[in-house]
Amino acid sequence: MEPLITLRESDPATLHAARRLGLPPIVTQVLAHRASAAGVAPEWLLDFSLHSLDPPEGLPDIELAAERIAQAVVAGEVIALATDADSDGVNASTVLTRALTEHFGHPAERVQHYIGLKLTEGYGVSDSVCNRILAADPRPGLVVTADIGSSDGPRIERLAAAGIDVIVTDHHGIPREGGPDAALAFVNPQRPGSRYPDPLIAGVMVAWLVLWAVRRRLIARGFLRSDSPSLRALLGWVATGTVADVVSLARSRNNRIVVHQGIRQIEAGTHACWRALRPHLGDPAKPLAASDLAFGIGPRLNAAGRLHDAMAGVRFLLDNDDASARHGAALLDRTNEARRVIEKRLTSEALSVAARLVEDGRSALVVSLTDGHAGVHGIVASRVMSTFARPAVCLSASTELPGALTGSCRSIDGLHMLEVLQVLEQETPGLFLKYGGHQGAAGLSLDEGRLPLFELAFEREVARRLDGVSLRPRIDVDADLEPGALTWNLVDGLAQIGPYGREFSEPTLRSVFTVREAREVGADGGHWKLALAHGGERVDAIWFNVGSDCPAIPGSCVRLVFTPEANWWRGQRRLQIRIQARAD
């Protein structure tokens, strides 16, 4: 499907404000475009000071949660941590564990970990996870969740009935029927009445903010010294979970700050896990960026939870021995490669099914895979969504619930996925066995016999909400680049205004080039390396996933849409463009 290519426009006042920052002209335009779209001031996006973080006050139940955790630390109670199996949850488990044991002095043997096995226990605080907690010896007196719990009221009620206090920390949307009433504290910036100004933070950051409040309580009690180590040392994990969970890096200054600060910690190799991962992130001389967290670290941590046991990722992130951490990184790398094989097969099948649905005029794409894998539902749904510019759901038979389907949903900008599912549940009570999520992504399970009903209802609600919206892949161009303007000054200036991610997309430029050479690359082909001429200068280019036919014939002039970047090799960098599409 050919993308719709449009030229971005900025609010004039925002562009004027961006020009006062003294950045190169193209960089100024990119910043102004992102600020205009987010509805914020350009200078606000470049404030990376930790002093600008919103303090935890205002989060619902924050004081109650901090007091109960502080009480458990002082008394030496057994504390159980229950988190999601994705990178957000794995990093949250690490942050909670390191804060409790290294910063607060809680005995490591009195911290228990519970992460549901996706293939057999499903998502969230499942009945199986509850059974494991209740069967633990010693049984914990306190359970703290991270990145899960908002939709797990019945299971949390089971734990509370057994005399276990439960503190839910989460960032997902609240079900229409309400949150977990049996929880002692429910800390979630999405809750109605929350006074915390930023509902867009990731689950790992909610947990980190709770720990911030706990530390203050422990200092007030005299349990910690006022000059005890700051929790900012944990921001590498907060950053990794934040980027991997694809939360906004434009409308949330908190997210931008923790990602900026956390990248610096990872780059410095302050912990064994970061040193072990560094060889997997490209040339050692290359400065790290949010993309390294998104495509280098996050997938490796996610793969463990998708295919086997997410606790492998937690153990790796907690490892303080370099040799052991290198072994753990290699294990995660092998698991990620196995995930790639499964994903490639299922994505090919899903795209074929989705293409037929698009031909039938569907606004929403529900793909049911006969031989699917719950561990890659989200990735496959993302591939379908980005390819066809339509919200997508990927489903397959549940290994946890006989006769049921389980799956993941991914949404396009402007469509709130959780709200759609809430409407369907309200119209047809009991449609889902379980569901939850947020604006861009959600998970669900339903009886197999209800699939046709879900497909019709989902299509109807999505079509209603997207009425008049062009459902084509779209590329928004920041600026047309003149010959000779592709310089290191431009590339470095663009890097300066990062981190890039959701809602703060990488810069996209457009210009005319002369093609000198073209050759297909990649183990399976389909990628092309080009040598181009631009304003008399040679420019290297890479064009991914463009097929086996040469996309630009040597000797021709082509108008390209691209992102400029540095290509690092053996400590040296070369200016390169990453091509997205032809614009001629």
Structure confidence by residue, pLDDT tens digits, 98-135: 999 999 999 999 999 999 998 888 889 999 999 999 99
Looking at domain 362-465, its CATH class is: alpha beta
Structure confidence by residue, pLDDT tens digits, 279-326: 999 999 999 999 999 999 999 999 999 898 999 999 999 999 999 999
Closest listed residue to residue 198, CA positions, set 150, 242, 152, 168: 242
CATH 2.40.50.460 for domain 4-8+474-582? yes
CA 115/CA 124 separation, integer angstroms: 8
Residue 305: what pLDDT?
92
Q: Let me know the angle formed at the C-alpha of 476 by 358 and 559, rounded to the nearest 5 degrees.
A: 95
Q: List, in sequence order, every residue forming a beta bridge with 447; answer none if it has no partner.
A: 404
Tokens 């908190």 -> residue: 254
Contact present, 30 and 494 (Cβ < 8 Å): yes
CA 117/CA 276 separation, integer angstroms: 25
Positive or negative torsion for Cα 103, 109, 112, 113:
positive
Helix/strand/coil for 576 = strand
Q: Where are the domains positioned within the chain?
A: 4-8+474-582, 52-334, 362-465
CA 344/CA 447 separation, integer angstroms: 27
Tokens 């200054």 -> residue: 253
CATH 1.10.260.40 for domain 52-334? no
Q: List, in sequence order, every residue forming a beta bridge with 237; answer none if it has no partner.
A: none
- Name every residue whose Cβ is closer than 8 Å to that of residue 393 and which is 6 or more positions away in sequence: 364, 365, 366, 367, 381, 407, 408, 409, 410, 444, 458
| pLDDT of 400 strictly over 90 | no
CA 257/CA 52 separation, integer angstroms: 8
Structure confidence by residue, pLDDT tens digits, 218-229: 999 999 999 999
| pLDDT of 581 strictly over 90 | yes
In what helix (H) or strand (E) does residue 263 lie, and over which residues does it extend? helix 253-268
With 0.75 as the threshold, say if the pTM is over it.
yes
Percent of the chain topping pLDDT 90 = 90
- Name every residue whose Cβ is closer than 8 Å to that of residue 82 and which is 6 or more positions away in sequence: 114, 115, 125, 129, 133, 143, 144, 145, 146, 148, 149
Number of Cβ within 10 Å of residue 59's Cβ equals 26
Mind giving me the DSSP string for 403-424? TEEEEEEE--TT--HHHHHHHH
Expressed in angstroms, the distance from the first to the final Cα of the chain is 16
Greatest CA separation for the chain: 76
Per-residue pLDDT band at 234 (split at 50, 70, 90): very high
Across 52-128, the runs of DSSP E, i.e. the strands, are 79-83, 111-115
Residue 177: what pLDDT?
83
The amino acid occupying position 210 is V
CA 84/CA 379 separation, integer angstroms: 16
Per-residue pLDDT band at 524 (split at 50, 70, 90): confident
Return the C-alpha torsion angle 352, 354, 355, 357, nearest 10. Answer: 130
Q: List, in sequence order, every residue forming a beta bridge with 393; answer none if it has no partner.
A: 366, 409
DSSP class of residue 380? H
